[in-house]
Amino acid sequence: MVGTKPRMVAVSYLNTKPLLYGLLRSPISDRMDMDLAIPSECARRLVAGEAEIGLVPVAVLPELPEYEIISDYCIGADGAVATVCIYGDVPLREMTHVYLDHHSRTSVLLARLLLEEYWRHPVTLLDAREGYIEHINGTIGGLVIGDRTIGLDKRFRYVYDLGSAWKEHTGLPFVFAAWVTTSPDLSPKFIAEFNAALREGLDHLPQLQLLLPSPTPDFDLTHYYTHHIDYHLDVGKRQALRRFLSYITASVSV
């Protein structure tokens, strides 16, 4: 990568907009090739060597031979996250099948963990494809993440927020995605400027909320950013990340 711009890929959801706003306002954006994708594609590109920097689902970390978390900011939650939920027409204890959203393996593994350890409810897990939300009915539930969840709480009678369930199960916050690099060539100066740009974006959150249209009339964007998404990769989230990664490692080795 020496002599070339690092390739950066980031999740393209509403919850990343403050971070991306900071990067795009910063001169550092001219020193990267930036692209957006769904979480699973971000992870794939980092694993495949098609990107050197990524805001990626943390479930991908065990697949990387070498990596470094380069930012004090992440996509996290300390309790209800609002946009990572299991939806259904019946209570979870009556669900026989659950579709697993194909956009993010982190959320899929989190759902598996909670079904095993917290709810202790055996269900048949179904790999989802585009359009699967239309098949959530009867005793078939579905995990849905990201912007597609907006409005589903009005459509389905039962909603199980994975951020809330994790908090109740462990007492910890959760990290859904982190800024990771696989390149040893990023300088401390570059990383410091990268972090400063992200902080700048979060500092301008009040202005950004005025610029971004709400996805639906009854979706409170300000409440979402300030009460559901927690961007600081603090000590509690790092502890939660270790707990979650230990589950992934154990589940793979079984």
CA distances 49 to 2, 21, 67, 121, 128, Å, are 15, 25, 12, 38, 26
Q: Minimal CA–CA distance to 10: which of 83, 18, 186, 185?
A: 18
The C-alpha atoms of residue 113 and residue 162 are separated, in whole angstroms, by 10
The C-alpha atoms of residue 75 and residue 20 are separated, in whole angstroms, by 12
Other Cβ atoms less than 10 A from the Cβ of 171: the count is 10
Examine domains 7-76+173-253 and 84-170 and report if their fold is the same.
yes
The C-alpha atoms of residue 252 and residue 61 are separated, in whole angstroms, by 13
The one-digit pLDDT tens for each residue of the chain (254 residues) are 445 899 999 988 899 999 999 999 999 999 999 999 988 899 999 999 999 999 999 999 999 999 999 999 999 999 999 999 999 999 999 999 999 988 888 999 999 999 999 999 999 999 998 999 999 999 999 999 999 999 999 999 999 999 999 999 999 999 999 999 999 999 999 999 999 999 999 999 888 888 887 788 888 888 899 999 999 999 999 999 999 999 998 875 44
Name the CATH topology of 7-76+173-253: D-Maltodextrin-Binding Protein; domain 2 (3.40.190)
Domain map (residue ranges) of the chain: 7-76+173-253, 84-170
The C-alpha atoms of residue 102 and residue 40 are separated, in whole angstroms, by 7
The CATH class given to the 84-170 domain equals: alpha beta
